[in-house]
Structure 1
C-alpha cells in the first residue's frame, strides 16, 4: 500500500492505540463506553506539536476535536467489522513482517556492511565478464564441469587477451561474454560486486560463483563517483499544428542563438521551455546522480559539462530537444548523511545473508542454545539414500513415545521435541536435496530448522519484548483500519454517487470558474527597437512567419513568438498586462521585453461538471465527510472529562 493512502490527516500517522491502561489514569473522554486516556492524548499531541503546519492544530481544543473525530471513525470501523476483513488482516500481517526486518538485525555487522557499501558507491568500476551458466541446485558433477570451463577460459584470457576470448565464447545461452560499462555499489549482485571491487584494474579475477553460475571479471577502470549534478534546461517538444518555422528542432536552434547572443538562459527558460515543472524556476531541475534519470543522453550531456555556467549545444532525447546549463556539482554526500538510506539498501540486498548469520548467532546466545546437539547422531542413524530420492520415511518405531517425545531444543519458553525435527525432515525433503554425506545433510537441515524457529519465536514475541515495535504496529493497525473505512464510506461512495455530485455542483457553481483569458500572440526580444518594428508589422496584419523572416536572420534571432489561449498566470505574460483587445505597449518581463497582441478577451465562465470534475469530486468528498462526522457524533456519544482536559491545558502551558 502506498504511503499517501494510509492516513487522512497528519496527526493520524502518529496515533498510538494504547491497549493497556492503569485503572488510576484519568479518562479524558468516552466514546460511548470506550475510555480514552489523558496519557494517550498528551503523547500524541506532544509528538505532533513540531510537525503540524496548521497553527490551529496546536490549540488543545482544536486538537481535541481532531482526536475525537479520529476515535469516532475507529469506533465506526470496528462496528462495521472492518478489522475482521481478510484483506485488512493480510495487509497488517505483511506490514508487520516488513517492520520486523528493521528490528531483527545485528548492529555491528550491519554497520560494517553499510561502511563497505558507502566505499563502493563512492567509486565506479568499468568491467567486462564471462559467465558459464549453471543452476544453483546443479549436481556436483555439473558444478565441477562449469568450474573447470571457467578456469580454462581464464587461463586462455591471460594468454590471448580477455576481449578476444570474451567475444569468441559468447553464445547468449550457456556462455555470456558481456561489456558491463561503469557500475558502482548495489548495481550488481553482491558476490559479483565484491569480486569486481577486489580485483585490481587490468587484472582478471579468479573464478567465483553467483546464483547465475561461474564468472571471471576483467576490471578495465576504477574511478571516483561522478557525484551529483544540478542543471537547468530548456526543453522544446513537438505540438500539433506547429508550422515549419515552429518545429522543435528549429525553435531550439533559435533559442540557442539567443543564448549565444548574450540573452539570459533562465529568462529564456521561463519564456519558452515546454517543461512546465521547471520553466517557472528558470529551467532548474532537482539534483541527480549517474543512472538516476530516464535518459542516458541527457545524463551524459549533463555530466559532460565541467565548469559552472557551462551551456550545452542543443541535443535530442526521447522527451524532446534540450539545452542544458550546469548550475552545481557535488561529490557523494558524507557518510553520515547517507547512513540511513544505505542501511535500508543493505537489508534488501544479498548482503542481508551475512546480517542473517549474525542474527542467528545473537539469538542463540539470547536463548542459551547449546553449541552441541547430541540428538543429531540419532537422526544420522535413521536417514539413508532414500532422502535424496524424496522417498524417505520416518522409522515405524518413531511413532512410539520414545524417541518422538524426547526434548530436542528449547527456545525461550517453547520446547521442541524429536518429532518436530523428524517432521521437518519429512517436509523439506520434497524440495530435493543434493547428494552429500548423511552427517552433513543432517547438520544442514538442523541448522535450517533451528534458525527458522529462532527467528519465528523472536518475531512472535517481539511486541512483548520491544515496546517501540508494539507502538509502531498499533499505529499502523489503526491507520490501516481508518483508510479502509474512508475508502468504503467516503471515497468510493463519492465516486459512485452521481446524483449527489451533480446536486452539489448545481448548488456550488460559483466556485468553479474559468478565469479571464486572452487569445494572444506574445513577441519577445531583448531589444525594444526590434519590438517597435514587430508591433508595426502586427498592426498591419502580417503573419508571424513573415515577421520572423523580416526581423530574424540565419545568424541572429531577434524575436520569438508565443501564441495561444492564456490566463494571467501564463509564463509568457507580464503581470502588468491589461486584458483588452489590441496591441500592448512594450513591457519588461523576465529580463527581456515583450509586446502582446490580444486578439480576443475571454471573460470568466462557469465550468461544466465535466470540466471541473476533479475539483468537484474533491470538494464533494470533504462535504460528505463533514456530514458523515455529524452522523457519527449522534450515533456515538462523546463525554469529555472537563477536569482532565483542564489538567492537560495546564500541563501544556508549563
Structure 2
C-alpha cells in the first residue's frame, strides 16, 4: 500500500516538474515571427528587479513593454547587419576572452589563496632584508655559490646581529641590505611576503629565492591592520571669482576659531565647506582605508586622530585647506565585503601561478590528457643547437600529420607542437638537455591549448557564462544601433534640435536668483550689529575687523549668486532686496543682504543645448520605437503572460 502512494507522489512531483519546465519553454511573445521564451523574460525580470528606478517598471505589464522595445531594437540591429561589423565582432571577442578568465580557474585553490590574502591584509609586518642578486637563468654553479653566500650571511646575522651585518654588506649592486618599514599583503612578491609572514618577530628566516635572487628577512614587528576611519571634513578651495578675495588659509583659520569656540562641526561644514558632495551631509566622507587615498597628507592626519570626536588642526593638500573630525574607527572590512577585490588581486599576483597549475591539472583530468609528451624521442631526434641561435627549423621529412594528443573533440598533430617549438625559439632559452627543454615547452603548449579549448567551448559547458555573454552581445549590438540611429543623428540634426527647443521652451528656464551676502553667527546679538553696519554701507572687510578678533570669530560671510536651494540660505527664504530679518539655520543664525534679484529668464538654445539634445534624443527614440512596432509585428500570448504573472507573484 505504501509503495502505491510512493509512486503516486513520485509521478505527481514529476508532472509538476515537467509542467514547470514547459512553462519556462513556452513562448511569451514573438517579434516578426521570432519566438521569445518565458525563461528569458523571467530571468531578466528577476535580475533587473532591484535595479529599476521607476516603481512602475516593477509591474510585469510595464516591464514587458520595455522588454518588447528592447527586442524590437535588436531585431532592427540585425536587419541592418550591425552584428556583422568587424568592430562589433572584435569587441565581443575581446570581452569573451576577458570574461572567461573569471570562469576558467580552479576555485578551490583560488579560495584558499584569497582567504590567506585576507589574513595577511589583517596585519602589517615590519622587516628588513638582505638580498644577494642572481639572475633567474643563472647556471647551477652560480646558483650554488649565491646560496652558500646567503647562508654564511645568515650565520653571521645570528651571531653578530642582523642590523650590523645588513649595514656592512650593503653595496647597492650585488648585495642589498634594506629597511622595508611596515608592509601588508600584496605589497611584496608572493615568496617574500610568505617568508615575512611566516617568520616570528625577532627571527631571521631561512634563505629563499625570488626572481631577484636569494634573501634572508629579519622580522622586527607585527601589528594589526589600521583598518578604516570614518571622518568628516571642512574644505576651503581657492575661488577665482570669490568677490571677498579672501585667502583660503585665512578662511579656514576663521572656521577653526569658531570650532574652538564650541560651534558644531557638521553645521559649519554645511555652511562653509567647498566640498559640495559632503557639505550637505555635515562634511561626512565614505570610510577611508589605509593606502586608499592618493592624498598622503589627508591620510596621515586621518589616521593620526586617536579618539572619536578628535578634530585636526587646519592642514593643506593639493585640493585646498581642510579640517578633519574623527567619527568612527573600524578594523579592515569583513571578508565577504573584500572577497571580490581580493579575487582580482590574487589573479594578478604571483599567486596566479599556483592557480594556473591547479587549473591545468583539472583540465587534463576533464579532457583525459596525460602528462608525458607522446613522441618525445622523435622530437629529441630532430632537435639541435640551432634552437639556441634561434635558427632551428623543422626537417623537410618532418612527420607533420602524426597524431599527438586530443583535447576534447580537437585532435593535435606533431605539426602543431613542431610549429610551437619553432615559434617560441624567439624566447631566450638557456642551453640544457634537449629532453628538459622540449618537456618545458610541451608543458607551456599543453597549458595554452587546454585553456584555449575550454575558453572556446565555455558557452557550451557553463550556463552562467553563456547568459552573461548573451547579454553583453545584445547590449553591445544595442549600443551600436542607438549610436548610429539616435544619438549621433540627434546631435547633428541642428534643424530638429532648434524646432524641438522652440516647441518646448518652458522646459528650459533659469530660476529666479539673488546676488547676496549671507552673514552667519551663533549669536543673534552679533547679527543685529552686522545688520546695522551693513545698513550704514560699511564694506565686509571693515565689518569683519570690527566684529571678529584674533581670538574669536563671531561671524563668517558667504557672497554668491544664489538660488532657493543654496546651502547658505534658510528654507523658503523670501527674495526681497535689502537686509533680511535674522533666521535660525543649521544650528546657527543667518542674516541675508540681497543686493539684486535676478528674475527668472529663458535659457537660450546655446545655454541649454546639452539638456535639449538629451531630451530630443529621448523624443526621437520614442517615435522610432513606434515605427519599429509597425515594421515588426509583436504577438503576445496572453495565456502564457498570465501564467508568468502568477509565477512571479509566488516568488
Give the conservation status (yes or no) of the 8 Å contact 1:245–1:545: no
Which residue number in structure 1 is paired with residue 332 of structure 2?
332
Q: Matches of residues 20-169 of structure 1 in structure 2 within 5 Å? A: 26-129=26-129, 136=136, 159=160, 162=163, 165=166, 169=170
Aligned to 1:519, the other structure's residue is in SS state: strand
Match of 2:411 among 406, 415, 432: 415
Cα displacement (A) at 1:598: 0.8
Match of 2:519 among 520, 523, 528: 523
Aligned to 2:231, the other structure's residue is in SS state: strand
Cα displacement (A) at 1:544: 0.8
For 1:152 and 1:506, locate their aligned partners in 2 and report how far apart those are by CA, in whole Å. 87
Match of 1:547 among 536, 543, 549: 543
Q: Matches of residues 382-401 of structure 1 in structure 2 within 5 Å? A: 382-399=382-399
For 1:336 and 1:23, locate their aligned partners in 2 and report how far apart those are by CA, in whole Å. 36
Q: Matches of residues 329-478 of structure 1 in structure 2 within 5 Å? A: 329-373=329-373, 375-399=375-399, 404-478=400-474
For 1:524 and 1:207, locate their aligned partners in 2 and report how far apart those are by CA, in whole Å. 66
Aligned to 1:70, the other structure's residue is in SS state: helix
Which residue number in structure 1 is paired with residue 251 of structure 2?
251
Q: TM-score, normalised by structure 2?
A: 0.89
1:638 equivalent in alignment to 2:634: yes
Match of 1:615 among 611, 615, 618: 611
Match of 1:568 among 537, 548, 564: 564
Cα displacement (A) at 1:284: 0.3
For 2:126 and 2:621, locate their aligned partners in 1 and report how far apart those are by CA, in whole Å. 57
Aligned to 1:277, the other structure's residue is in SS state: coil
For 1:24 and 1:532, locate their aligned partners in 2 and report how far apart those are by CA, in whole Å. 74
Cα displacement (A) at 1:205: 4.6
Cα displacement (A) at 1:186: 2.0
Cα displacement (A) at 1:490: 1.9
Which whole-Å deviations, capped at 9, do the CAs of 1:374-420 have from their partners, x for residues lacking one?
A: 52233223322222222223344324xxxx44433222222323333
Given the superposition, is the C-alpha separation of residues 135 and 500 from structure 1 closer, same or farther in structure 2, using an over 3 Å criterion?
A: farther
Given the superposition, is the C-alpha separation of residues 86 and 603 from structure 1 closer, same or farther in structure 2, using an over 3 Å criterion?
A: same
For 2:500 and 2:161, locate their aligned partners in 1 and report how far apart those are by CA, in whole Å. 79
Cα displacement (A) at 1:558: 0.8
Which residue number in structure 1 is paired with residue 264 of structure 2?
264
Given the superposition, is the C-alpha separation of residues 176 and 583 from structure 1 closer, same or farther in structure 2, using an over 3 Å criterion?
A: farther
For 2:157 and 2:517, locate their aligned partners in 1 and report how far apart those are by CA, in whole Å. 67
Aligned to 2:398, the other structure's residue is in SS state: helix
Aligned to 2:391, the other structure's residue is in SS state: coil
Cα displacement (A) at 1:187: 2.6
Match of 1:489 among 481, 485, 492: 485
Aligned to 2:282, the other structure's residue is in SS state: coil
Give the conservation status (yes or no) of the 8 Å contact 1:551–1:558: yes
Which residue number in structure 1 is paired with residue 279 of structure 2?
279
Cα displacement (A) at 1:133: 6.0
Given the superposition, is the C-alpha separation of residues 144 and 612 from structure 1 closer, same or farther in structure 2, using an over 3 Å criterion?
A: farther
Aligned to 2:309, the other structure's residue is in SS state: coil
For 1:500 and 1:204, locate their aligned partners in 2 and report how far apart those are by CA, in whole Å. 76
Give the conservation status (yes or no) of the 8 Å contact 1:409–1:415: yes
Which residue number in structure 2 is paired with residue 15 of structure 1?
none
Give the conservation status (yes or no) of the 8 Å contact 2:190–2:351: yes
Q: CA RMSD in A?
A: 2.9
For 1:628 and 1:176, locate their aligned partners in 2 and report how far apart those are by CA, in whole Å. 69
Which residue number in structure 2 is paired with residue 295 of structure 1?
295
In structure 1, list runs of 5 or more residues that go unmatched. Answer: 1-20
For 2:284 and 2:357, locate their aligned partners in 1 and report how far apart those are by CA, in whole Å. 46
Cα displacement (A) at 1:165: 4.9
Given the superposition, is the C-alpha separation of residues 28 and 127 from structure 1 closer, same or farther in structure 2, using an over 3 Å criterion?
A: same
Q: Bigger CA drift: 539-548 or 26-35?
A: 26-35
For 2:383 and 2:120, locate their aligned partners in 1 and report how far apart those are by CA, in whole Å. 46
Cα displacement (A) at 1:302: 0.7
Which whole-Å deviations, capped at 9, do the CAs of 1:167-224 have from their partners, x for residues lacking one?
A: 98465x8776665443211233323322332344445555544445555545443211
Given the superposition, is the C-alpha separation of residues 261 and 497 from structure 1 closer, same or farther in structure 2, using an over 3 Å criterion?
A: same
1:197 equivalent in alignment to 2:193: no
Give the conservation status (yes or no) of the 8 Å contact 2:520–2:555: yes
Cα displacement (A) at 1:22: 9.1
Cα displacement (A) at 1:468: 1.9
Which whole-Å deviations, capped at 9, do the CAs of 1:329-353 have from their partners, x for residues lacking one?
A: 1001232333333223212222111
Give the conservation status (yes or no) of the 8 Å contact 2:312–2:323: yes
Q: Matches of residues 316-327 of structure 1 in structure 2 within 5 Å? A: 316-327=316-327
Cα displacement (A) at 1:130: 5.7
Aligned to 1:275, the other structure's residue is in SS state: coil
Which residue number in structure 2 is paired with residue 626 of structure 1?
622
Which residue number in structure 2 is paired with residue 535 of structure 1?
531
For 1:203 and 1:501, locate their aligned partners in 2 and report how far apart those are by CA, in whole Å. 74
Which residue number in structure 1 is paired with residue 593 of structure 2?
597
Q: Bigger CA drift: 378-387 or 581-590?
A: 378-387
Q: Matches of residues 567-586 of structure 1 in structure 2 within 5 Å? A: 567-586=563-582
For 1:197 and 1:407, locate their aligned partners in 2 and report how far apart those are by CA, in whole Å. 48
Given the superposition, is the C-alpha separation of residues 638 and 248 from structure 1 closer, same or farther in structure 2, using an over 3 Å criterion?
A: same
Aligned to 2:105, the other structure's residue is in SS state: coil
Give the conservation status (yes or no) of the 8 Å contact 1:129–1:166: no
Q: Bigger CA drift: 279-288 or 456-465?
A: 456-465
